[in-house]
Protein backbone atom coordinates (compact mmCIF):
# COMPACT_ATOMS: atom_id res chain seq x y z
CA UNK A 1 0.00 0.00 0.00
CA UNK A 2 1.38 3.40 -1.02
CA UNK A 3 1.78 6.32 1.32
CA UNK A 4 -1.25 8.62 1.08
CA UNK A 5 -0.95 11.90 -0.81
CA UNK A 6 -2.96 15.11 -0.70
CA UNK A 7 -3.89 17.51 -3.50
CA UNK A 8 -5.79 20.78 -3.30
CA UNK A 9 -7.53 21.86 -6.50
CA UNK A 10 -9.27 25.07 -7.48
CA UNK A 11 -11.59 24.56 -10.43
CA UNK A 12 -12.49 27.60 -12.55
CA UNK A 13 -15.30 27.93 -15.07
CA UNK A 14 -19.03 27.34 -14.89
CA UNK A 15 -18.83 25.00 -11.90
CA UNK A 16 -21.39 26.31 -9.40
CA UNK A 17 -25.08 25.47 -9.57
CA UNK A 18 -24.50 22.45 -11.84
CA UNK A 19 -24.13 19.64 -9.23
CA UNK A 20 -20.34 19.76 -9.56
CA UNK A 21 -19.74 19.33 -5.82
CA UNK A 22 -22.10 16.37 -5.55
CA UNK A 23 -20.52 14.72 -8.61
CA UNK A 24 -17.09 15.14 -7.01
CA UNK A 25 -18.36 13.70 -3.70
CA UNK A 26 -19.81 10.62 -5.39
CA UNK A 27 -16.64 10.01 -7.39
CA UNK A 28 -14.40 10.47 -4.34
CA UNK A 29 -16.48 8.06 -2.27
CA UNK A 30 -16.41 5.46 -5.04
CA UNK A 31 -12.60 5.71 -5.16
CA UNK A 32 -12.09 5.72 -1.37
CA UNK A 33 -10.67 9.25 -1.40
CA UNK A 34 -11.10 11.44 1.69
CA UNK A 35 -11.43 15.21 1.74
CA UNK A 36 -13.92 17.95 1.01
CA UNK A 37 -15.30 20.21 -1.73
CA UNK A 38 -16.75 23.71 -1.42
CA UNK A 39 -17.95 26.66 -3.48
CA UNK A 40 -15.78 29.78 -3.28
CA UNK A 41 -17.06 33.34 -3.34
CA UNK A 42 -15.15 34.02 -6.58
CA UNK A 43 -17.26 31.44 -8.48
CA UNK A 44 -14.65 28.68 -8.39
CA UNK A 45 -14.88 25.36 -6.56
CA UNK A 46 -12.11 24.25 -4.19
CA UNK A 47 -11.47 20.66 -3.16
CA UNK A 48 -8.98 18.64 -1.14
CA UNK A 49 -8.33 15.00 -1.95
CA UNK A 50 -6.38 12.58 0.26
CA UNK A 51 -5.68 8.93 -0.40
CA UNK A 52 -3.80 6.51 -2.60
CA UNK A 53 -1.74 8.36 -5.24
CA UNK A 54 -3.58 6.82 -8.21
CA UNK A 55 -6.99 7.56 -6.71
CA UNK A 56 -6.07 11.18 -5.95
CA UNK A 57 -4.69 11.64 -9.47
CA UNK A 58 -7.93 10.18 -10.85
CA UNK A 59 -9.92 12.74 -8.83
CA UNK A 60 -7.89 15.62 -10.25
CA UNK A 61 -8.50 14.25 -13.77
CA UNK A 62 -12.19 13.86 -12.99
CA UNK A 63 -12.39 17.56 -12.11
CA UNK A 64 -10.78 18.46 -15.45
CA UNK A 65 -13.37 16.51 -17.49
CA UNK A 66 -16.45 18.75 -17.00
CA UNK A 67 -18.36 16.44 -14.65
CA UNK A 68 -22.13 16.77 -14.92
CA UNK A 69 -23.22 20.02 -16.53
CA UNK A 70 -20.02 21.86 -15.58
CA UNK A 71 -17.88 23.74 -18.07
CA UNK A 72 -14.36 23.66 -16.61
CA UNK A 73 -12.01 26.39 -17.86
CA UNK A 74 -8.96 25.43 -15.77
CA UNK A 75 -7.83 23.48 -12.73
CA UNK A 76 -5.04 24.65 -10.42
CA UNK A 77 -3.49 21.83 -8.39
CA UNK A 78 -1.21 22.07 -5.37
CA UNK A 79 0.37 19.15 -3.51
CA UNK A 80 0.18 19.31 0.28
CA UNK A 81 1.14 17.12 3.22
CA UNK A 82 -1.67 14.66 4.11
CA UNK A 83 -3.54 15.36 7.33
CA UNK A 84 -5.12 11.92 7.75
CA UNK A 85 -8.64 12.96 6.70
CA UNK A 86 -11.41 10.37 6.70
CA UNK A 87 -14.64 10.51 4.74
CA UNK A 88 -15.62 13.07 2.14
CA UNK A 89 -17.86 16.07 2.70
CA UNK A 90 -19.52 18.82 0.72
CA UNK A 91 -19.02 22.09 2.57
| Catalytic-labelled residue, pool 6, 8, 31, 39 | 39
Cα–Cα distance for residue pair 8/64, rounded to 1 Å? 13
Tell me which of 8, 21, 40, 91 is the catalytic residue: 21
The span from the CA of 51 to the CA of 2, in Å, is: 9
Whether residue 91 lies in the annotated active site:
no
Question: Does 39 participate in catalysis according to the annotation?
Answer: yes
Which residues participate in catalysis according to the annotation?
21, 39
Amino acid sequence: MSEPVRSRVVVHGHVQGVFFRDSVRKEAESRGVAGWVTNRSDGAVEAVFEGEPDAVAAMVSFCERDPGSADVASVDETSEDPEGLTGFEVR
